[in-house]
């Protein structure tokens, strides 16, 4: 079924859930898992006004290293082959980087989380997931992790 799965990571709950899904799929299908964290030199605030906050390159690299520590360990424990890597998106959009990496590794599936933003926040921040789906011809599994997506007891 799947031979190579690309999973996009950041430090968000949705990315963590996406990684868990990708890891489970890789284990079930015997696929290789490529986990990547695309870093830029800043980030959007989680506040209602959605302000872009520039960060030095070293801060972005430190963030990425922390974001990949747990997935690297989980892959080792699950005995799922693959690798983790950090990719600098200084001159590209995150979705463009993910499309390029998926093509480079000939991924059969791309897995990523989405924040599930709506309204003005979605308009201002855009949707990396939507952009990725439009830009690639590969199957994309979008994993949502927010209060609306959680089952109620």
- pLDDT tens for each residue of 92-112: 788 899 999 999 999 999 999
Q: Which of 22, 39, 36, 10 is nearest to 105 (CA)?
A: 36
Residue 151 domain flag: no
What's the CA gap between 38 and 102, in Å, rounded?
13
Residue 18 domain flag: yes
The pair of three-digit structure tokens given for residue 64, joined into one six-digit string: 């990425």
**What integer pLDDT is reported at residue 91 of this predicted model?**
66
DSSP 151: P
Residue 20 domain flag: yes
Q: 3-26: per-residue pLDDT in tens?
A: 999 999 987 888 899 999 999 999
Contact 135, 95 (CB under 8 A): yes
Supply the CATH number for residue 25's domain. 3.40.50.620
Phi, psi angles (nearest 5°) of residue 150 = -85, 135
The pair of three-digit structure tokens given for residue 35, joined into one six-digit string: 């986990």
Q: 20-44: per-residue pLDDT in tens?
A: 999 999 999 999 999 998 887 555 4
Percent of the chain with pLDDT over 90: 42
Residue 116 domain flag: yes
Residues in the chain: 153
Q: Classify residue 36 by burial, with Cβ atoms within 10 Å: 0-12, 13-18, 19+.
A: buried
The band of 117, judged by pLDDT with boundaries at 50, 70 and 90, is low
Sign of CA dihedral 131, 135, 138, 139: positive
Q: Count structural domains, the chain.
A: 1
**What integer pLDDT is reported at residue 10 of this predicted model?**
82
pLDDT at 82 over 90: yes
Range of the domain at 116: 4-146
Which of 62-76, 101-115, 118-132 shows the lowest mean pLDDT across its residues?
118-132
Mean pLDDT across the chain: 80
Residue 49 domain flag: yes
The band of 149, judged by pLDDT with boundaries at 50, 70 and 90, is very low
What's the CA gap between 75 and 62, in Å, rounded?
20
Reduced to 3 states (helix: H, G, I; strand: E, B; else coil), residue 86 is strand
**Rounded to 5 degrees, what angle do the CA atoms 16, 18, 139 make?**
160
pLDDT at 59 over 90: no
Residue 48 domain flag: yes
Residue 15 domain flag: yes
Residue 153 domain flag: no
């Amino acid at each position: 079924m799947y031979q190579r799965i690309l999973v996009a990571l950041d430090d968000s709950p949705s990315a963590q859930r996406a990684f868990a899904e990708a890891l489970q799929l890789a284990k079930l299908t015997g696929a290789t898992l490529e986990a990547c964290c695309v870093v830029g030199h800043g980030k959007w605030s989680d506040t209602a006004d959605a302000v872009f906050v520039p960060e030095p390159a070293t801060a972005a690299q430190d963030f990425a290293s922390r974001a990949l520590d747990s997935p690297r360990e989980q892959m080792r424990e699950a005995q799922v082959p693959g690798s983790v890597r950090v990719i600098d998106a200084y001159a590209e959009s995150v979705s463009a980087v993910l499309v390029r990496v998926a093509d480079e590794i000939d991924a059969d599936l791309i897995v990523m989380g989405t924040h599930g933003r709506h309204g003005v926040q979605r308009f201002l921040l855009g949707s990396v997931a939507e952009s990725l789906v439009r830009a690639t011809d590969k199957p994309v599994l979008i994993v949502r992790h927010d209060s609306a997506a959680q089952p109620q007891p």
